[in-house]
């Protein structure tokens, strides 16, 4: 597979977001199916695996450790701290002592001596970003992590953090239907030499035909986080669904699937952009990774951009409560 720079590392252009093997989108797959998918990703050339302490409240790190620890030299391991499960609740806590304790727990669950890229999952606005990044810098000095990342932060917060310790990567949502990074943070990353990792590059499945009708959205499991996202709810959902037929037609014309078109568009936005789509399906895994080899005409990518963009997509990406927890430009 095509390779790209992830901070000091060289990894597959498309990585694997491991979250939905344990978290967020309803009932996760069995342990056996999850193991099969992780190993198949490795076989297909994925060398960038992304997990977090939050996912499954530690279960996802445990899964990744149990399955991939014996192959540790073959991939770059990314995980996250600063947002964890406490007594069954999601808690944002960026205090230095908490971050260090989370890292120690993560190293045990991941069955590794060092985490290659360790993100602050959310900036705890009660704690100066300089203090949280300072704690991560100490973990670098101690040899427990190799590089520092940030997730869902603004350009200003990135610059403040980078002044304390070099930031290797910034991770936030980026896709045809979520363009917030284009406001400011993508330019800031490029000015500072920070790699950009795009999570939810398929619009949480929307750009991969996972939701084709209002009934599909209504049928989502109670624990599926999309049930609380305005874009998947009336009245915004109907307008968003109306975008899909022309997008499917364009993908068919280009000789690829809608998911591959969405990923090809994202990869074409810059060599410094690394998508990490997640999936529970072996077939979808192969489909997604095949997008790295696509070379679609600029005219096709421009038409995709014109079809699905901030002017055509309806609704914010998060509800008000979640939006208040993040720091990205809107």
Model confidence pLDDT, tens digit, residues 186-206: 999 999 999 999 999 999 999
Grade residue 259 by pLDDT with cuts at 50, 70 and 90.
very high
State the Cα–Cα distance between residues 93 and 132, nearest whole angstrom. Answer: 10
Contacts of residue 249, defined as CB under 8 A and 6 or more positions apart, other chains included, come to none
318 is catalytic: no
Alpha helices, H only, 180-279? 185-192, 214-218, 236-241, 244-254, 258-267
pLDDT of residue 161: 98
- Whether 257 is covered by a domain: the verdict is no
The CATH number that applies at residue 185 is: 3.20.20.100
Residues 300-317, mean pLDDT to the nearest whole number: 97
pLDDT of residue 5: 98
- Whether 104 is covered by a domain: the verdict is yes
- Whether 326 is covered by a domain: the verdict is no
Kindly report, residue by residue over 125-149, the tens digit of the pLDDT.
Answer: 999 999 999 999 999 999 999 999 9
pLDDT of residue 199: 98
Grade residue 326 by pLDDT with cuts at 50, 70 and 90.
very high
- Whether 162 is covered by a domain: the verdict is yes
Q: Express as a percent the part of the chain with pLDDT over 70.
A: 100
Is the distance from CB of 61 to CB of 17 less than 8 angstroms? Answer: no
Beta bridge mates, 118: 79, 148
In 3D, which of 222, 178, 199, 208 has the Cα closest to residue 275? 199
Contacts of residue 30, defined as CB under 8 A and 6 or more positions apart, other chains included, come to none
- Catalytic annotation, pick one of 55, 118, 119, 318: 55
Q: Is the pTM of this model over 0.75?
A: yes
- Whether 314 is covered by a domain: the verdict is no
In 3D, which of 124, 94, 118 has the Cα closest to residue 106? 118
Kindly report, residue by residue over 32-91, the tens digit of the pLDDT.
Answer: 999 999 999 999 999 999 999 999 999 999 999 999 999 999 999 999 999 999 998 999
Residues 306-328, mean pLDDT to the nearest whole number: 96
Within the chain, strands assigned E span 3-6, 9-12, 16-17, 48-50, 76-81, 83-86, 89-92, 115-120, 145-151, 169-173, 195-199, 273-275
Q: At what angle do helices 31-43 and 282-290 cross, to 10 degrees?
A: 20
Is the distance from CB of 150 to CB of 166 less than 8 angstroms? Answer: no
User: How many domains are there within the chain?
Assistant: 1
pLDDT of residue 79: 98
- Whether 108 is covered by a domain: the verdict is yes
Residues 96-125, mean pLDDT to the nearest whole number: 98
- Whether 242 is covered by a domain: the verdict is no
State the Cα–Cα distance between residues 237 and 289, nearest whole angstrom. Answer: 28
Residues 209-234, mean pLDDT to the nearest whole number: 96
Residues of the domain holding 79: 3-204+263-294
- Whether 64 is covered by a domain: the verdict is yes
pLDDT of residue 221: 95
Residues 270-291, mean pLDDT to the nearest whole number: 98
Q: How far is CA 327 from the centre of its chain?
A: 16
């Amino acid at each position: 597979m095509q390779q790209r720079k992830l901070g000091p590392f060289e990894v597959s252009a498309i990585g694997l977001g491991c979250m939905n093997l344990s978290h967020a989108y309803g009932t996760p797959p069995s342990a056996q199916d999850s193991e099969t998918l992780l190993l198949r990703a490795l076989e297909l050339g994925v060398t960038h695996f992304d997990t977090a302490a939050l996912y499954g409240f530690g279960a996802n790190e445990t899964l990744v450790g149990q399955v991939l620890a014996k192959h540790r030299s073959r991939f770059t391991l990314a995980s996250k701290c600063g947002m964890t499960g406490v007594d069954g609740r999601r808690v944002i806590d960026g205090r230095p002592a908490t971050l260090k304790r989370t890292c120690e727990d993560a190293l045990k669950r991941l069955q590794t001596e060092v985490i290659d890229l360790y993100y602050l999952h959310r900036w705890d606005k009660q704690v100066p970003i300089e203090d949280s990044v300072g704690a991560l810098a100490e973990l670098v000095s101690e040899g427990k992590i190799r590089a520092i990342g940030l997730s869902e932060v603004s350009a200003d917060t990135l610059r403040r953090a980078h002044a304390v310790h070099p930031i290797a990567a910034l991770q936030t949502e980026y896709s045809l239907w979520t363009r917030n990074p284009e406001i400011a943070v993508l330019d800031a990353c490029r000015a500072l030499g920070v790699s950009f990792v795009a999570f939810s590059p398929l619009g949480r499945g929307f750009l991969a035909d996972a939701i084709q009708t209002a009934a599909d959205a209504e049928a989502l499991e109670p624990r599926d986080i999309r049930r609380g996202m305005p874009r998947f709810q009336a009245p915004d959902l109907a307008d968003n669904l109306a975008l899909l037929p022309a997008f499917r037609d364009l993908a068919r014309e280009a000789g690829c699937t809608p998911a591959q078109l969405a990923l090809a568009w994202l990869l074409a936005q810059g060599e410094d952009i690394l998508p990490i789509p997640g999936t529970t399906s072996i077939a979808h895994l192969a489909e997604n990774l095949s997008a790295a080899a696509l070379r679609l005409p600029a005219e096709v990518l421009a038409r995709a951009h014109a079809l699905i963009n901030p002017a055509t997509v309806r609704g914010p990406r998060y509800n008000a409560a979640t939006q208040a927890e993040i720091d990205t430009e809107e």
